[in-house]
Structure 1
């Protein structure tokens, strides 16, 4: 197996989620997956989340779908090494099943995640509506267009090597924060190509994409761009709830806000809608937030 993937963006995503069942001979729930290339040498957190969910999915009945997960990022992953995923079958009830996935490199855990699965059922139905007045994605420049001509490895990666097209409704914070500092934003996103008609693949890919931009409202609130010297950030934990099915190769709106930043940490909440306003998922993530004292803005 190739340990590090640097292929066309969507092919790289699909290859990362095509886990190898390395525990079949010993009757253990152990899987192995490759790492995608990243410009700073650290595995993208969304990749490990999606792979961990995929490993857990391999151990439940097909009629049970993932509806929630809670994960902790323990250590940075190394893109030069594969990742091993060990799944514990914690609970199998009449309607729900629970799995714990531990992701390892060199025998050391880098992520610990618990996911819950449910047999589809009828019940009450309501949702928070998608914000009104949002421009359509075709009206908004892509990241590739916004960063065109910037000769920097991170800028080139953001522009052309991610498997998702990301379009900030307001200007992005890659290079500068325009307008008033606010703790919220909205981003259109869609896979750069068509994915197979596998619902679980789309659910895992949605977990992958949910790690994009989720911490940005924290920095936007304080007028801090990604290029700020001395800026240090890392995801600490990630929670996600899948409400309804949606395809990630169709446009989705990721609405995000940060209710709090304190003590070197920041919290962001997100809602992911289909283009026609169906609430697909909710997300929460806390991250380490360290900025130079001169950059602090209340």
Structure 2
């Protein structure tokens, strides 16, 4: 897992091994499987490599099929589905050991003018006034060192710090950014955001139950992941990740999230469903 911006950029720089076929590196990890944000970001890079640069990605939809092996490179097979005057579509299948582990469909749009509106940014203190939970996490869990590339400030959740909201029992809000400055390439910021967008989401679905990510008693695993990119922004500058879980049922939880820059501009939306399976306590 990348510990700084330089390692993240290297991780996102895929090797071309044939037409529409790419190889993505993995790094040593204490995690039991490849981080989902890494596979999503690398698959998006593979899709973008096959598209005219005049088109910008506006959405991706993906499914996590199998846990990724942290010791083996990932092969990304990008299939062109459409090359139109306004839109281009790509489907990417990620494989390890000959089996699919992740599937992504990404759509690209040639920029054009249009009508505009957006939701209002929720109230949140600036990141400088919020908690840095990583200091506490590092003390108790060395696996957090693998996410050193991320700078995070915790605003609150339904479990703590946020005021009660009966209409939205599952909420979590935090500031996030890549810790160090990235190169100027706009797509690199899109890919880096995609990498970080898989962090923390299920905390919103756990919060109504008095739980956090890492709490014992619940198995958490991402099932799918979708992102809509509304406006360009920098992944290495603060963005507010406002997360709401409208439902959890049958061992699954859904989270919808909006992404705002500090000036209140809505730049992206994210949705994810994950496995939230209760695990029986071990008996002695």
- The TM-score, its normalising length taken from structure 1, stands at 0.87
SS in 2 for 1:126: coil
Match of 1:3 in 2: none
Report the alpha carbon displacement of residue 145 of structure 1 after superposing the two structures with TM.
2.5
Give the number of equivalent residue pairs.
Answer: 276
Residue number among 144, 150, 154 corresponding to 1:158 in the alignment: 144
How far apart are residue 185 of structure 1 and its match? 1.3
Name the structure 2 match of 1:53. 44
Deviations 1:63-83 (A, max 9, x none): 100000110000000110100
Match of 1:135 among 125, 142, 155: 125
Separation in structure 2 between the aligned mates of residue 49 and residue 227 of structure 1, nearest angstrom: 22
Equivalent in the alignment of 1:79: 70
**Residue 144 of structure 1 aligns with which residue?**
134
2:250 corresponding residue in structure 1:
263
- CA RMSD, aligned part only? 1.9
Q: Is 1:126 aligned to residue 117 of structure 2? A: yes
Change (3 A) 1:157 1:143: farther
CA distance in 2, matches of 1:193, 1:72: 29
Query: What are the Cα deviations for residues 92-119 of structure 1, in whole angstroms up to 9, with x where unaligned?
Result: 0111000000011111111001000010
Q: CA–CA distance in 2 between the matches of 1:137 and 1:145?
A: 15
CA distance in 2 between counterparts of 1:7 and 1:191 reads: 11
CA–CA distance in 2 between the matches of 1:203 and 1:149?
Answer: 31
Deviations 1:169-215 (A, max 9, x none): 027x9xxx546794001110011100000001001111111111111
* Partner SS state of residue 157, structure 1: helix
Query: 1:183/1:29 Cα in 2 relative to 1: closer, same or farther (>3 Å)?
Result: same
Aligned ranges 1:176-195 → 2 under 5 Å = 177-178=159-160, 182-195=169-182
Aligned CA distance change for structure 1 residues 160 and 289 (closer, same or farther; 3 Å): closer
2:250 & 2:279 partners in 1: Cα distance?
Answer: 14
Provide the TM-score with structure 2 as the length reference.
0.92
Q: How far off is 1:160 after superposition? A: 6.5
- In structure 2, C-alpha distance between the alignment counterparts of 1:56 and 1:187, rounded to whole Å: 29
Alignment of 1:192-231 (within 5 A): 192-231=179-218
Match of 1:110 in 2: 101
More deviation in 141-150 or 93-102?
Answer: 141-150
CA drift of 1:7 comes to 5.4
Q: Deviations over 1:223-263 (max 9, x none)?
A: 12334333201111111100000001100000000000001
**Tell me, which stretches of 5 or more residues in structure 2 are unaligned?**
none
